[in-house]
Structure 1
Amino acid sequence: MKKICLSILVAASLFACRKLDQPITKEFTENAYWRNAQDGLDALTACYEHLSKDDYFYGDEALSDNAYNSGTGLLNVNAISNGGYDGNNARVKDTWSYYYTTIRRCNEITLNMDRVPGIDSALKRRIVAEARFIRAYAYFQLTAWYGDVPFYLDLISIDNSRTISRTDKNTIQQFVLSELNDIRKDLPANTAQEQKDRGRVTRGAAIAMSARVHLFRSEWQEVVNDCELLIGKTTDGAYSLFNSYSGMFTVANEYNSEVIFDLQYGGSRTNDKQRSFMPQTITALRSVLVPTQDLVDDYIMTNGKAINEAGSGYDENNPYMNRDPRFEATILHHGSKVTDLNGNVQTILTQPGSVPSTNTVDDQGASPTGYYFYKYYDRAATNYASGLNLILIRYADVLLMYAEAKNELGQMNAAVWNQTIQPIRKRAGFTDAGATEFNAAWDKAALQTIIRRERRAEFAFEGLRALDIRRWKIAATVLNRPVRGIRVTSGAFNKDPKGYIIVENRLFTDPKHYLWPVPTVERDQNKNLSQNQDW
């Protein structure tokens, strides 16, 4: 409970301006704070600053079968992926302490806003509602990764922090859902949000987040109920699919019609993680966060069939032809062309023996799988530092959560398909009826496979897969496979029987690895903290 044990004065963690992407610029004492509405807004900005971070957004992808992260970067998530970690792992420790700092910042607001004299009552309720959303988000993240965790809504004392025990995760998630429901009345719809408040929590964000928590808990009817508030309606916010899949992840199109909630960057708050995933000829740094062959193989063909289905037309000797258009928008492969930060077009060569060899699997600084992530590459970055917002919830997720829930309830049909998967695929660029039209011969199991594969393709490199494979209880299957790279015909590589590079063997033990251990440092300070199974 390292962060809980620290007695943190609220003023020491507050921003001096309302803008969400600016750092702390002045200091306060607690007695001199809570003087006016601006103090409340500044305190709230400190909560937003601690909502999440790029290490988690990108690192979560490597916690799934979508990506491989070499070395100890991104808080050593690779050790988690390959099963070689314990309560001293950097990511395991960081996530716990990070979100308890977030919770304390939010508790400062919920407990102190009544001290602000003369503040407009609607503004006060909104500030508190936004803080409650961020706190709920933090508690959901903690329960998703650790299960039972300490739960409190006050400014816990040091003495109490050393004796507090863990609360059942179900109790905490029920609280999260209650909060996300109760705060809706105090939040604006995105249609009523002023431009200066873009990036703040809206009613639509609270509804969509509630749907995501219900989805995690397999509460299918509740998922349907939440999603139906946002699909085809405008009372709680107006959202629609943006017209360009690849264009959605650019600075030019931030705050587009599909974005429900995003992590704010820009101004003096930037991230440089694209240097970890783009080819080193683009960003001048070793490529360590890279796609897997398993992810590549899951992209369907333009006719809607999986690559191993009869009639798909897949050619292993020409594997990137006639694939899901989102593949090219997400992943760079041998022969891909990309415009670098200087405006020059580069052809990315990844096969061994290619000249130049800089981006090939031969080079120690290149991708070991022979693939690179392309989504979220920001050509507008200055000195490799990107100000591009990272989307945490978008409308496509609402549609696919709805489709999944309806199918699990046995209610998936052509009408639901035409509301959800069809528009998503058409936006992606599919035109073949085999990919866009509903097939009445599909049963529930077949549709489950289709919907899960659709989620993977639509949200690749957006961090959602890690929790998806855990809630579906397939992590023990997909994370017990070797990490594979491209198929090669030459070079001294460890390969499978078909010639695909084997980068690493992973281990995921069921049930042990479905939850992280409570960090060792926390249990050293608080003997009342129990530990998860098998840790």
Structure 2
Amino acid sequence: MKQKKYILLIAVISLFLTGCEDFLDRPPKTNMNDETTWVNEKNIRLYANKFYPGFSVSGTFYPGFFMGYGSGWTNSYSPLLGYTFSDDVVHNGNQGNFTRSVPNSQVWSMVVIRSINIMIDRIENKMGNVLTEEEYTHWMGIGRFFRAMRYSELVLSYGDVPYYDHVVSDTDMDDLYKPRTPRNEVMDAVYDDLQYAFQNVRINDGEMNVNRYVVAGFISRIALHEGTWQKYYYKNNDRANKFLQLAIEAGDYVINSNKYDIVTEFRELFTSEDLKGNKDCIMYRHYDPAVGVTHSVASYNNVSESINYGPTANLIKSFILNDGKVWQNSTMDGAKNFELANVIKTRDPRFEGTFYDKPTSKNRGSYWYVNKFLPRSVAKSVEAGNAPPVEFTSINNRTDYPVLRYAEVLLNWIEAKAESGSSTVTQDDLNKTINKIRNRPIAPEAEAMGVQKTAPLLLAELPDDPARDIDVSPLLWEIRRERRMEFAFEYSRIADLERWYKLEYMDTDNNIDLLHGGWVNFPKEATSELTTGNTGKFSIMKLNGEEVTYNGGNNNDMVGFYRTSSTNGRQPFLNQVNINPYLSPVGRTQMDDYASKGYVLQQTEGWPQN
């Protein structure tokens, strides 16, 4: 089973299914009686609420669309823990592999789709005389928005998938075993659902509920992904522009509302206990121990716990300096000095906002500790020898999560404009997106360490990055860099690499930076915990690429990017026969099940058909 993102991102894409009833998974329609449920708006809301955090059927959990940090120990779909498979993350051990062979059992789950279609069907056929026109169109918009969200997830993973816009009868074999619907047809239906939701969902429906701004924000994400996928994977510019224009339109709606802004210091967005009213947040998830809603993500981020993964040297090098230039070209003092304290001073403030300010053996994968989801005050208290406060241990975490940030909409919008064949990016566009984000406040603790705001990105003076791919324009390269800095250890990096058709960035054979972590100056920074008894167990890589292994007596030469001896690259996955790392295969069991009923289930493109 692949270590790839959608094992974590998509709701249960690896179900072990057999017969036709299991194949379509028949969950209870609702906890209430179906005949008495669809009688008022309150009951629709109760039904729809399960799609927020997720729900369970027969012991299987189906993640919701707004998981936040997860709940309790359930954190596989959360930032930090749920997204450790990308070129941003190095593991102490074997790096995660892409799927390299067709599994015995794996297929899309239709549980969530069926449940959403039940909601849409009942609103349409049982509530026409119950709801006002406004209520009807709003809740139909919510249902169609959820359906679009789920199908966009399935398509991201599998490409062609069976499309259902109705409740399937468990006796209709032709429907149960229908062939895969072409991706473009599915995404056209998604497009229509998104448009309907965009036009009909309420502008305001109460705190933490989906409203039209939330819809628009997620449209900007979904449409940007599909537009760039079409452009780079299928090379279909017409379809690309269709979706890119939708992303621009949705972004325009959010931006022009003037409801949102970039006014919050970066780390505070992830460490606040109350994001209500925060203008940086279009949607957030609130955690409250008084009602038993807590999480555990910060417990893995509290400087006290040991973790085996951290930032790659590749990610570290990608952060822009605060003069707006790349490290190879900057004339700033210390531009080429990668000691952590110096990098914090010279790089974009999001660097300090993402990492603990000292190398530590608590992170054996990288020696640099991800600290994005922990208050600085807690990190300093632990550093002083204190135990983490109880609310940052176990499943007692109560910090809110910004599910959809205004910064994301701004970056989705500017990228869609840059990718669209019918739009031109202006300096004003950069000023109201990337440069607005760069101008966010800096925490006093960060200022005390020398952190400064990054210079504006100027169209006339785009950085000349020697690492830039020749097929990516300087402007797009910088927009992509901005996403990487903004969303490190959140949801997007592996999905971004796929939609840009750039999974070669994950190739450890051709990018040794992926196997190295933070820079450590051992004569100044290394502890006896690391060096004692560890001869031959780690090495460093200097800026010139020279690898030096620790031999017990060469401390003075151990200055460079850290790597443990157990850190190994991933297996080849590109240009391999019958392997398509961009899309997931379905299992042999599922294909055999179709065949046993007289139907044909085609294998995913790029995988062997038998």
Query: Shared fold (TM-score greater than 0.5)?
Result: yes
* 1:242-321 superposed matches below 5 A: 242-249=263-270, 250-254=272-276, 256-262=278-284, 265-266=287-288, 267-279=291-303, 281=304, 284=305, 286-312=306-332, 313-317=335-339, 318-321=342-345
Match of 2:193 among 179, 183, 186: 179
Q: Give, in whole Å, the separation in 1 of the partners of 2:392 and 2:142.
A: 30
Q: Tell me the CA shift for residue 154 of structure 1.
A: 1.8
1:169 corresponds to which residue?
Answer: 183
Q: Secondary structure at the match of 2:139?
A: helix
| Structure 2 counterpart of 1:529 | 601
- 1:518 is the counterpart of 2:583: no
Q: 2:262, 2:279 within 8 Å by CA — same for their partners in 1?
A: yes
Given the superposition, is the C-alpha separation of residues 129 and 232 from structure 1 closer, same or farther in structure 2, using an over 3 Å criterion?
closer
* Same amino acid, percent of matched pairs: 23
Pair 1:7 & 2:17 matched: no
- What is the CA-CA distance between 1:314 and the residue it aligns to? 2.9
- What residue is the counterpart of 1:322 in the other structure? 346
Question: What's the CA shift for 1:426?
Answer: 0.8
Contact 1:109 1:131 (8 Å CA) reproduced? yes
Instruction: Indicate how the Cα distance of structure 1 residues 224 and 128 shifts in structure 2: closer, same or farther if over 3 A, else same.
Output: closer
Structure 1 residue 470 corresponds to structure 2 residue 470: no
- Residue pair 1:165, 1:530 contacting (<8 A) in 2 also: yes
**Contact 1:278–1:373, Cα closer than 8 Å, also in 2:** no
Give the deviation of 1:315 after TM superposition.
0.9
User: Are 2:212 and 1:203 aligned?
Assistant: yes
TM superposition shift of 1:9: 2.1
**Are residues 518 and 261 of structure 1, via their aligned partners in 2, closer, same or farther at CA, if it must alter by over 3 Å?**
farther
Structure 2 CA distance for partners of 1:432 and 1:324, relative to 1, 3 Å: closer
CA-to-partner distance for each residue in 1:310-348, whole Å, 9 max, x for gaps?
42523134444322111111122525xxxxxxxxxxxxx
SS of aligned partner of 1:63: coil
Q: 1:362 — aligned with what?
A: none
Structure-2 change in CA distance of 1:224 and 1:29 (3 Å): closer
Q: Which residue of 2 aligns with 1:413?
A: 426
Of 425, 432, 455, the residue aligned with 1:435 is: 455
> Is the counterpart of residue 239 in structure 1 residue 239 in structure 2?
no
1:486-510 CA-partner distances (Å, limit 9, x unpaired): 3455652155435433433124425
* 1:446 matched to 2:443: no
The residue aligned with 2:528 is: none
Of the candidates 469, 485, 497, which is equivalent to residue 517 of structure 2?
485
Partner of 2:574: 509
* CA drift at 1:214: 2.5
Matched position secondary structure for 2:518: strand
Deviation by residue 1:73-106 (Cα, 9 ceiling, x = unmatched): xxxxx87x4225655599x76xx33xx3221221
Cα distance in structure 2, aligned partners of 1:432 and 1:372: 21
Give the 3 Å change call, closer, same or farther, for CA 45–34 of structure 1 in structure 2: same
**Contact 2:297–2:373 under 8 Å retained in 1:** no
Give the distance between the partners of 2:309 and 2:586, measured in 1 at CA: 26
Aligned residue number for residue 334 of structure 1: 358
> Please, which runs of 5 or more residues in structure 2 have no aligned partner?
1-14, 55-63, 71-75, 229-240, 376-388, 464-471, 523-530, 548-559
Tell me the amino acid that sits aligned with residue 415 of structure 2. E
Matches within 5 A, 1:27-426: 27-50=31-54, 51-52=64-65, 53=67, 54=70, 55-58=76-79, 61-68=83-90, 81-83=96-98, 86=101, 88=103, 96-97=108-109, 100-113=110-123, 114-116=125-127, 118-158=130-170, 159-160=173-174, 162-189=176-203, 192-193=204-205, 197-216=206-225, 217-218=227-228, 219=241, 220-234=244-258, 238-249=259-270, 250-254=272-276, 256-262=278-284, 265-266=287-288, 267-279=291-303, 281=304, 284=305, 286-312=306-332, 313-317=335-339, 318-334=342-358, 349-350=360-361, 359=362, 366-377=363-374, 380=391, 383-408=394-419, 409=421, 411-426=424-439
Give the length in aligned residue pairs: 469
Question: Structure 1 residues 130, 509: closer, same or farther in 2, change over 3 A?
Answer: same
Larger Rg: 2
User: How far 1:259 moved relative to its partner?
Assistant: 1.9
AA matched with 1:330? T
Which deviations, in whole Å up to 9, do the C-alpha atoms of 1:245-292 show, x marking residues without a partner? 22122222245212223456544343323344543x1xx5x5245332
Contact 1:68 1:483 in 2 (8 A): yes
| Deviation at residue 5 of structure 1 after TM alignment | 2.8
Q: Is the Cα–Cα contact under 8 Å of residues 67 and 290 in structure 1 kept in the other structure?
A: yes
CA distance in 2, matches of 1:63, 1:44: 31
- 8 Å Cα contact 1:291/1:371 also seen in 2: yes
Q: Superposition RMSD on alpha carbons, in Å?
A: 3.2
> Does the CA contact (< 8 Å) of 1:5 and 1:157 recur in 2?
no
Amino acid at match of 1:411: T
Structure 1, gaps ≥5 residues long: 12-26, 72-77, 336-348, 351-358, 360-365
